[in-house]
Amino acid sequence: MEPTPDRVLTAWAADCAEHVLAQFPDFADDAAQTAIAAARAWAVDGEDLDACRDAAYAAHLSARELAEAGYHAVANAVRAASNAAASADDSALAEAGADYALEAISGNSAPCEFQHNLEAERRWQWEQLPASQRGQVFEAEPPEPGAAACAI
């Protein structure tokens, strides 16, 4: 089956990437920001697919460098941006980008907040996606997140 693009899913993937990158304010990544911008631009007008491809590749390389330096959680956040841009070619990569966002959250969460943070992020992702497209990505509506178990 031929991969198909979907502007709504690409825009959603860009939102997911931007949301998770905000969890890492000390790791501003120009390649990730460029990938998000390219994905959003393509989602608006469907033009300049080459810019998405180039931005996805650059973000992929940046994520690899971050992972090799030991910054695995932020590398996954950058991978989310890379997949958002790449989803202009294949909408299945939008879901992959959202999954990378979850991996970034899991890698950046303390054990006592791990489950809550994952549930909250997945619920946020659900809420950002138009109802008409949720069935393409989600098997069921994610539950509201439970309370974090951290005692402060």
Q: Which band of pLDDT confidence, cut at 50, 70 and 90, is reported for residue 15?
A: very high
In a domain, 146, yes or no: no
In a domain, 116, yes or no: no
Structural domain for 37, as ranges? 7-109
pTM: 0.93
In a domain, 137, yes or no: no
Total count of domains within the chain = 1
In a domain, 124, yes or no: no
Residue 5 is predicted with a pLDDT of: 81
Per-residue tokens: 17? 């990437």
In a domain, 128, yes or no: no
Residue 2 is predicted with a pLDDT of: 64
In a domain, 59, yes or no: yes
In a domain, 102, yes or no: yes
Q: Kindly state the percentage of the chain with pLDDT values over 90.
A: 86
In a domain, 114, yes or no: no
